[in-house]
Homo-oligomer: A and B are copies of this chain.
Amino acid sequence: MTGIIRLPARDIPLPASMSPEAQALFAAIADSPARGGMPEGNDPVAWKRAIAEAEESVLPMLRPLDALPGFARETISAGGVTTFVATPEGAPGDRVYLDIHGGGLVMLAGEATRLMGLMMASRVGVDTYSPDYRMPPDHPYPAALDDCLTVYRHLLDRYPPERIVVGGASAGGNLAAALALRARDEGLPLPAGLVLLTPELDLTESGDSFITLRGIDVMLRSPLMPANRLYAAGEDLAQPYLSPLFGDFAKGFPPTLLQAGTRDLFLSNVVRMHRALLKAGVPVEMHIFEGMPHGGFGGAPEDRDLAETVGRFVAECFRREA
């Protein structure tokens, strides 16, 4: 028994089944040179340099979000954790979205966190809290999760749990799901819903799509394992606070929205999480987008479809529990 499939070299063309806008975005990403990856070891100086370079290349793309109209913006300390708060004009004020940023568990802090929080607030239309959680190399696990929990407790002091939805994309999906598991284990009330967008639910990378879509996902081109190891700092990557996919959901978990794309390295994370939640009887919906890599097609019709889907789900979570 081998089951090994030997594939010849081949060219994969642009999917004609996506919108023209998504095709143009996809081609721009696919045709751009690969950026420098992350360091292999644990040298903090090398990591800080690589993180700073990566953030410098991402920030210009996020800057336009600062022009989004219709928000009050504030930076607060939520139990000691710097947190960006975006309050849409006319938002009901009695409900809140806890938005946990992505960035491979090592980057996109500060200004990037603030700008991505504005986008999320525009999508969900309610007060949005974006914690600037601590990260490696200076602060490995469990610092980031601790900080997210601190902000969640801060919100629990101010809103009923049925008025709180927690979400995140990529590494933010990891932390959002881990937050739900840890909140439950610590006896805290669960939020009304969880939004996990192309989530990094498995730091062991045991899913099939990590292999089948390697090279096909044009967004995630460098190995993530060095960042996973740096984050875990010796902790078992398979334990559920690091890889929420392996949690026991029958003990309680919030209604969840899962999203991935057919060219998304995290596709297996999502389909496996979907089955695990169904098995545990957790209300869950899964949305898979044609041809979409990790991180989506910003601004394309597929992206608007996803934004509307998330907005509808969040509104339903608040309605369900009200």
Contact = CB atoms under 8 A, between A and B. Distances in A.
A101 interface: no
Contact of A262 (B6, B27, B216, B271): B271
Contacts of A268: 17, 262, 290-291
The binding surface of chain A is classed by DSSP as mixed
B27 A215 contact: no
A271 to B, nearest CB: 4
B262 A211 contact: no
B11 A4 contact: yes
A15 interface: yes
Nearest to A286: B286
Contacts of A290: 207-208, 268, 271-272, 275
A215 B267 CA distance: 19
Interface string A236-248: 0000000000000
Given A288-B286, A290-B275, A212 B5 contact: no
Given A10-B7, A12-B5, A290-B271, A262 B208 contact: yes
For A9, A208, A275, which residue has the most chain B Cβ atoms within 10 angstroms? A208
16 contacts: A3-B23, A3-B26, A3-B27, A3-B30, A4-B12, A7-B9, A7-B216, A8-B215, A15-B208, A18-B208, A207-B290, A209-B262, A212-B263, A271-B290, A275-B287, A278-B309
Complex A-B, nearest 5 residue pairs according to Cβ-Cβ distance, in ascending order: A3-B27, A3-B14, A15-B208, A1-B27, A5-B12
